[in-house]
Amino acid sequence: MDPSHLQELVALEDNYWWHIAKRQLVTRLLQRYCPPPGRLVEGGIGSGRNLVEFSELGYDVTGFDLMPESVQHVRNRGIEDVRVHDLGQPWPVENAALRAVVLLDVLEHVEDPVTVLRHAHAALDAGGAIIATVPAHPWLYSRWDEQLGHFRRYTTSEFRRHAHAAGFRVSFLNYWNSFTMPAAVAVRGWEKLFPSRTQPDFPAVSPFTNRALLTAAAAERWCMNTIGVPTGLSLAGVLQK
């Protein structure tokens, strides 16, 4: 992560619809598949807002990140058990010590995601699970993904293949963020026709639009639990031992 993006996260994660909607989705999956109490590790902690939420749910939280700036910021928020660590290296936790692992938009940044998943598998207890989100649809891969350092965008089959190679079964897998997909496809198409050097960011929205998008996300979560969502910009999955 670019250090400047950390400041953007700090400014947006409490109120911006995308961050709130993803947090609401993940907390519901945690409570359904691996509820607290127990120890939770998040890989890629960003500003630490998610760790605060997970701690309030009742987990003992630990965070890993490559950025010393992120680790220091999260410690300043009062969460002490965070450290600089490469997820591709063996994790500094005991085997079978974790109830949950959270990897939100992390695996696409890793050249060898199966190794990361295997380290998580070793650290999880028998009833533990990973909650993961990843960008979907390789055909949407664009300059935006390159600027963010993405190695890939996932298909459902590739996500399952990586999970199975690491010893997991996929208990839940569905698209999310379907309601902004038409706009995103249009923007990506425009960028391919007219490339620019602008950095990827979260577009500003009015308070009314922010509330409307949160309402759409709530409706989408209902669909995910009932009829399913046929497509979307991202995938959300639960991987269990």
pLDDT given for residue 168 in this prediction: 98
Average pLDDT of 54-76?
A: 96
pLDDT of residue 7: 73
Query: What integer pLDDT is reported at residue 65 of this predicted model?
Result: 96
Contact by Cβ (8 Å): 75, 69? no
- What's the rounded mean pLDDT across residues 111-133? 97
Q: Assess whether pLDDT exceeds 60 at residue 200.
A: no
For residue range 136-181, list pLDDT tens digits in order: 999 999 888 988 899 999 999 999 999 999 999 999 999 999 999 9
CA distance 136 to 184: 12
Q: What is the mean pLDDT of residues 86-99?
A: 97
pLDDT of residue 193: 65
Q: Where are the domains of the chain?
A: 3-240
Question: What is the token pair recorded at 102?
Answer: 């959270």
* pTM metric for this prediction: 0.93
For domain 3-240, give the fold.
Rossmann fold (3.40.50)
Q: Is the pLDDT of residue 199 over 60?
A: no
Query: What is the Cα–Cα distance from 93 to 121, expressed in whole angstroms?
Result: 12
What confidence tens digit (pLDDT) does each residue in 215-229 have?
Answer: 999 999 999 989 999
Please calculate the CA angle 241-130-77 and round it to the nearest 5 degrees.
Answer: 145
Q: What is the pLDDT of residue 4?
A: 63
**pLDDT at 1 (0 to 100):** 60
pLDDT at position 201: 65
Across the range 3-31, mean pLDDT stands at 88
One-character DSSP codes across 14-44:
TT-HHHHHHHHHHHHHHHHHSPSSEEEEEES
pLDDT band at 203 (very low <50, low <70, confident <90, very high): confident
Q: Give the three-state DSSP class for 168.
A: coil
Q: What is the mean pLDDT of residues 18-44?
A: 97
pLDDT digits (tens, 9 = 90+) for 32-51: 999 999 999 999 999 999 99
- Quote the pLDDT of residue 191: 72
